[in-house]
């Protein structure tokens, strides 16, 4: 299996009693120029479809994307999922609940849309319950984007949170985060009683790393370990997929038959 960088000098034992939580962009999928430009390979779908039952169904996606978008990307798979950093939650039985209302962000939309229109390459991704201002294709607008986001959220710090991601500033209600999403899954079947393992790549995943560490699980950062609370790392998306692909064999399952 792909080796981990060990922050604490100890190996991370693999076990079938894990509850595995996976970020999507930057973890399972390489980050694209725009959110709609990503593609999910049949190979990745097959890998996830094989690992999930191996863990008794205790595998969930935890993403900043809406659950409906995750379903379109990973179809025909329909996995337990937390969308919008936990504002949406679908359990293993398919029951879904949501937190917050799009109206909470109504006063911000016009200013952010105007900014995107005035800066070539900038883009506002309206997720309903969250707003993401992307400047990946307009890096020269970063300072102005930060200034605007600070202005439109001023005085609302107790109800809104600005998540500083990779070339994106996301505004969302302070009603959930990825750490709370992990805790909610860990209180329900089939995740309850298992050891939580979270793999993520961005500052938005730090809440989950903290919770997993507190629960005695394993936190894995995609990329460097500097500046993170994660205790292990994998170098890139390809390494994550390779590691997931090797998991069945590492747990003693027979290799998948060839054609």
Catalytic residues: 23
Give the number of other Cβ atoms within 10 Å of residue 53's Cβ. 11
Sign of CA dihedral 180, 182, 186, 187: positive
83 contacts 184 by C-beta, under 8 angstroms: no
Sign of CA dihedral 247, 219, 15, 21: negative
Distances (CA, A) of 102 to 72, 109, 130: 21, 10, 7
Separation CA 52–CA 114 (nearest Å): 43
Separation CA 248–CA 241 (nearest Å): 13
212 contacts 221 by C-beta, under 8 angstroms: no
Q: Is 95 helix (H, G, I), strand (E, B) or coil?
A: coil
Residue 76: cis peptide before it, omega within 30 degrees of 0: yes
Left, alpha or beta for 51 (phi > 0: left; psi -120 to 50: alpha)?
alpha
As a residue count, the chain comes to: 259
195-200 and 218-222 strand pairing: parallel
Strands lying side by side in the sheet with 18-22: 5-6, 232-234, 218-222, 195-200, 18-22, 59-62, 81-83, 88-90, 96-98
């Amino acid at each position: 299996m792909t080796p981990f960088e060990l922050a604490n000098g100890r190996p991370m034992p693999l076990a079938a009693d894990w509850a595995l939580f996976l970020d999507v962009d930057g973890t399972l999928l390489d980050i694209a120029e725009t959110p709609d430009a990503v593609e999910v390979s049949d190979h990745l779908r097959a890998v996830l479809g094989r690992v999930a039952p191996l863990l008794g169904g205790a595998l969930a996606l935890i993403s900043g994307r809406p659950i409906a978008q995750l379903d379109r990307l990973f179809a025909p798979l329909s996995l337990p999922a937390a969308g919008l950093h936990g504002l949406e939650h679908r359990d293993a039985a398919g029951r879904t609940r949501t937190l917050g209302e799009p109206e909470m962000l109504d006063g911000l939309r016009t200013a952010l849309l105007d900014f995107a229109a005035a800066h070539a390459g900038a883009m506002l991704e309206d997720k309903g319950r969250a707003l993401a201002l992307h400047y990946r294709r307009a890096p020269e607008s970063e300072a102005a984007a930060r200034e605007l986001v600070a202005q439109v959220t001023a005085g609302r710090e107790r109800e809104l949170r600005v998540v500083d991601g990779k070339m994106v500033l996301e505004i969302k209600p302070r009603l959930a985060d990825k750490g709370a999403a992990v805790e909610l899954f860990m209180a329900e079947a089939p995740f309850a009683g298992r050891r939580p393992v979270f793999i993520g790549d961005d500052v938005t995943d730090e809440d989950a790393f903290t919770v997993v560490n507190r629960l005695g699980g394993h936190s894995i950062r995609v990329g460097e370990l500097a500046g993170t609370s994660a205790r292990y790392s994998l170098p890139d998306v390809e390494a994550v997929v390779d590691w997931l692909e090797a998991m069945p064999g590492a747990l003693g399952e027979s290799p998948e038959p060839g054609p």
